[in-house]
A = this chain, B = another copy of it.
Amino acid sequence: MQSYTEENYLKIIYHLSEISHPVQTNAIAERIHTKAASVTDMIKKLSEKELVNYVKYQGVTLTEKGKLTAINIVRKHRLWEVFLVDKLNFKWDEVHDVAEELEHIQSNLLIERLDEFLHFPSVDPHGDPIPDKHGNFVELAFVKLSKLNSGDNGTITGVSEHSSSFLKHLEKLGLTLGKRIEIIEVLEFDGSVELLVEQQKTNISREVAKHILITKN
């Protein structure tokens, strides 16, 4: 079994693996709010336990065992987020911090029963896929809203930024999961996007558009 801290490292390494291979020490340090020296220490420990492959000065990659562990934590995180939103009426911007704690509860029975109670959801409140108990899940074919052109339309199916301020902003504009949108115009000047949601015209910055994930129709 891994400690709370080890689990957090594995999860962060898993997420960072989608961006760079291998994962750099500094990248981990930044995400986990710690110093590079501490990361090196922990990486050595995880390597000792055969959860990561570590090459000095190069970085780390997860071993199969480490990856399965990480995916299981992600599974728990996302299932708890669904629980909080669906059953306890949390808003999508309120769930992340609590899920960061709940994801470390150790009980297979608990998580399998929770999954069942929630009717085996396939995505979490932010549109992220929920791995099944074997670690399998389907990556949805997203495209960033910032890549669309005028006339394009689609459905909001995810966000790539989970901060409360960002999510609250989207909520206010009515840009929530499942909403259909149509691009009116992409301003050449600053890349901001004018779009239509439920007969309502809205304008969002390029920065915001980058973090909204669309499934085209």
Contact = CB atoms under 8 A, between A and B. Distances in A.
A106 B98 CA distance: 8
A interface, how many residues as a size bin? 10 to 19
Contact of A89 (B94, B105, B113): B113
A34 to B, nearest CB: 18
- Copy tally for this chain in the complex stands at 2
B84 A117 contact: no
A94 B106 contact: no
A204 interface: no
Interface string A98-116: 1001100111011001100
Contact of A107 (B87, B98, B113): B98
B105 A101 contact: yes
Nearest to A4: B4
A141 interface: no
A121 to B, nearest CB: 15
Given A88-B117, A117-B87, A117-B88, A106 B110 contact: no
A28 to B, nearest CB: 24
Nearest to A88: B113
A90 interface: yes
19 contacts: A84-B110, A87-B117, A88-B110, A88-B113, A88-B114, A88-B117, A89-B113, A90-B109, A90-B113, A94-B109, A97-B107, A98-B105, A98-B107, A98-B109, A98-B110, A101-B105, A101-B106, A101-B107, A102-B105
Given A94-B109, A98-B107, 10 more contacts: A84-B110, A87-B117, A88-B110, A88-B114, A88-B117, A90-B113, A98-B105, A98-B109, A101-B106, A102-B105
